[in-house]
Amino acid sequence: MAVAAPEPLVAKPSALKRFTKKLFRAVANRDPEYYDMYLDQRESRFAELYLRPLQQHLKEAGVLPPARILDAGCQTGRLLVPLAKDGYSVTGIDRSLFALRRAKAHLRNAGARAKLTRGDIGSVLSKPGDGYDAVICAEVLYLCEDYRLLLAKLASAVKPGGLLCVSHRPQAYYLVEALRKGDMDAAAYVLSNREGAFRGHSYFNWQTEEQLRALYEELGLSLLAVYPIDRFAWLAGLDIGAFDQGTCQEWLRREIDTPLEGGLCARYSFAIAARDR
């Protein structure tokens, strides 16, 4: 009886795709699907909303180059590269080796240098260190159930007189996103819960400015200011990547200069706090 020849082993498309992605990342430092926040024009413009108040507070606190700054969750260097170009001694932490390789390339192209460390923020900050003049953590903690523990570790890494600069989510963000989708159950949940599951996401948390102030005071820091990050473009559903230079400058001016009234209503709230001397 004839025996059928075994079918040739053919890699599944998903496995082949994963292999190809790893190969391109390792050999060519490329991944067309990777969201590089440093290269993305929209994210580089949003970065200005962080950098303007950050640079102002660093100057007012006397934290000047070559002071030591930690960027916890630096991704590909959206904030890290500009600060390194300013002359700060910057250390970047990220879990993704690929992101750090991209950050290294961006630093090289910008003629700047920084120390890059792979690892989880919590585990890296658990190791003894000399402390930093400023610690930055942008768009990370709202995803973490242990955000209070991570915030405490970030605070412990700040020298006396130094700054802790962290972005959080305001309640209005989740509420508006739920209402846009017509999800009244999710909107009601956000109104009565400060953290939990949100529209398929595993976890969320939000804080008011008063709650942030109390949270930072518990850690021995004084909240200096809270800045909204992306108010108008987000609410209007505009793509700032499509703005020409003049429109972009006008948008940036209005985002920064328009007085904050009626509470935080933006994609993020950027808290800047000082450790007591």
* CATH number of the domain encompassing residue 58: 3.40.50.150
- Shared domain for 137 and 48, answered yes or no, is yes
Q: Which two tokens stand for residue 238?
A: 């505009």
pLDDT in tens, 96-143: 999 999 999 999 999 999 999 999 998 888 777 779 999 999 999 998
Which of 144, 179, 204 is where one domain is finished? 204
Which residue do the tokens 């991209």 mark? 102
Q: How far apart are CA 96 and CA 75, in angstroms?
A: 8
**Which amino acid makes up residue 145?**
E
- Per residue in 33-54, pLDDT (tens digit) is 788 999 999 999 999 999 999 9
Q: Is there a single domain that holds both residue 104 and residue 42?
A: yes
Q: Is residue 88 domain-shared with residue 191, that is, in the same domain?
A: no
Band of residue 63 on the pLDDT scale cut at 50, 70, 90: very high
Residues sharing a CB contact under 8 Å with residue 264, sequence separation 6 or more, in sequence order? 170, 171, 172, 208, 209, 226, 228
Query: 159, 179, 204: which is the final residue of a domain?
Result: 204
Do both 128 and 77 map to the same domain? yes
The angle that helices 147-156 and 209-218 make with each other, rounded to 10 degrees, is 60
Cα–Cα distance measured from residue 9 to residue 260, given in angstroms and rounded to the nearest whole number: 62
Of residues 17 and 234, more confidently modeled: 234
Instruction: Tell me whether residue 154 is in a domain.
Output: yes
The sign of the torsion formed by the CA atoms of 121, 123, 125, 130 equals negative
Strand order in the sheet with 221-229: 115-118, 89-94, 68-72, 132-137, 158-168, 268-275, 221-229
Q: Is residue 43 part of a domain?
A: yes
191: containing domain:
171-204
Domain boundary among 184, 204, 224: 204
Residues 180-213: tens digit of each pLDDT? 999 999 999 999 999 998 877 678 899 999 999 9
Tokens of 184: 């009244």
Q: Are 207 and 262 in contact (CB under 8 A)?
A: no
140 found inside a domain? yes
Structural domain contains residue 231: yes
Looking at the structure, tell me whether residues 151 and 176 fall in a common domain.
no
- DSSP one-letter string for 103-148: HHHHHHHHT---EEEES-HHHHHTS----EEEEEE-S-GGG-TTHH
Domain identity same for 237 and 219: yes
Residue 5 covered by a domain: no
One domain for residues 100 and 216: yes
User: Is 22 domain-assigned?
Assistant: no
HSE (CB half, 13 Å, CA atoms) of 276?
7
The residue to which tokens 């993020």 are assigned:
268
The number of folded domains in the chain is 2
Claim to verify: residue 177 and residue 60 sit in the same structural domain: no
- The angle subtended at Cα 169 by Cα 207 and Cα 98, nearest 5°, is 135
Assigned domain for 6 exists: no
Domain shared by 72 and 88, yes or no? yes
The answer to whether 113 and 85 have CB atoms below 8 angstroms apart is no
Q: Do 84 and 200 reside in the same domain of the chain?
A: no
- At 162 the three-state DSSP class reads strand
**249 located within any domain:** yes
Q: How confident is the model at residue 5 (pLDDT cuts 50, 70, 90)?
A: very low
Same domain, yes or no: 58 and 194:
no
Backbone angles phi, psi at 47, to 5 degrees: -60, -30
Report pLDDT for 9: 47
Mean pLDDT of the chain: 88
Q: Which residues contact 67 (CB under 8 A, 6 or more apart)?
A: 58, 88, 89, 133, 134
Based on the fold, state whether residues 56 and 176 are members of the same structural domain. Answer: no
